[in-house]
Amino acid sequence: MTSDRKVFILLGAPGVGKGTQAQRIASLYHLYHIDTGQALRNEIASGSELGQTAKSYVDKGELVPFDLVMQVIKAAMLRVSDEKRGFLFDGFPRNEAQAEGLTEILNEIHLHIDAVLYLETPFSVLMDRLAYRVTCSKCDIKFNLKLNPPKNEHVCDACGGELVTRKDDRPEVIENRLKAYETETSPLIEYYSHKGLLKSIDANQPIDTVTQKIQQELDLYFKPSGKMLV
Ligand SMILES: [Zn+2]
């Protein structure tokens, strides 16, 4: 693998808009957007030895061991074609142990984290964003009844599918997700800040503005022409 590929992490609480930003940024900069759950499903579907081992845990209803997950991520990264100029993690790592694991596999393939983009938003705003989130049961698009409402509260603008409130977006679950984030993931802010990798971005702004702020950071790594900076 060419070692001039960049590695970025999007860090932030649930509801901050990591997923949306990750999709935009990945396509703007030709980055491979790594979804760890998807990587695991792909590996299992491929029938590889690694995938079969992972499947044996899933079949038993057990959690796939951490080391195995890391090997799956590494395998996924190694398979990404050279056209991609780097990698973008979103929602991973979730805690310090995962962060250490990620550094380790990156070392093994001669890569390192270039920057951690921390999307910052007050908790009260997050509660609001999550509490009004509805998801299309057909095409998976998300709307926010307050911030980005569909024309009809129950119908998807894109495909006409029924809009539902996911189990994950119910108020009691939201509170637990935010608490879990605070205890498990927010220490990573300090962790990456110590390593000099953290770039804070005010995410309490319109989605397009947040994208522009992220672009300002990433433009430091990529020339507009698409060539890598040396
Ligand atoms: Zn839809």
What pLDDT is stored for residue 2 in this prediction?
Answer: 54
Burial classification of residue 67, based on how many CB atoms lie within 10 Å of its CB (0-12 exposed, 13-18 middle, 19 or more buried): exposed
Indicate whether 154 belongs to any domain. Answer: no
Q: Identify the active-site residue in 41, 55, 84, 94.
A: 94
Q: What is the mean pLDDT of each run of 10 residues along the chain (230 residues)?
A: 82 88 93 90 94 94 92 93 91 92 95 96 85 92 88 96 91 87 92 97 93 94 60
What pLDDT is stored for residue 171 in this prediction?
Answer: 84
Indicate whether 64 belongs to any domain. Answer: yes
Cα 164 to ligand 1 centroid, rounded to whole Å: 11
Cα 16 to ligand 1 centroid, rounded to whole Å: 22
pTM, 2 dp? 0.82
Indicate whether 129 belongs to any domain. Answer: no
Indicate whether 213 belongs to any domain. Answer: yes
User: 28-61 burial string, b = 16+ CB within 10 Å, else e?
Assistant: ebebbbbbbeebbebbbeeeeebbebbbeeeeee
Active site residue 166: yes
Q: How many domains does the chain have?
A: 1
Indicate whether 141 belongs to any domain. Answer: no
Active site residue 79: no
Residue 171: strand, helix, or coil:
helix
Indicate whether 198 belongs to any domain. Answer: yes
Domain that holds residue 12: 6-122+183-218
Indicate whether 145 belongs to any domain. Answer: no
Indicate whether 1 belongs to any domain. Answer: no
Angle at the Cα of 78 from the Cα atoms of 191 and 185, rounded to 5 degrees: 20
What pLDDT is stored for residue 230 in this prediction?
Answer: 47
Give yes or no for a cis peptide into 224 (omega within 30° of 0).
no
109: domain CATH number is: 3.40.50.300
What pLDDT is stored for residue 130 in this prediction?
Answer: 84
Active site residue 133: yes
The dihedral through the CA atoms of 88, 92, 96, 100 has a sign that is negative
Instruction: Report the interhelical angle of 207-218 vs 18-29 (nearest 10°).
Output: 50
Q: Identify the active-site residue in 6, 24, 74, 133.
A: 133
Contact yes or no for 207/17 (Cβ under 8 A):
yes
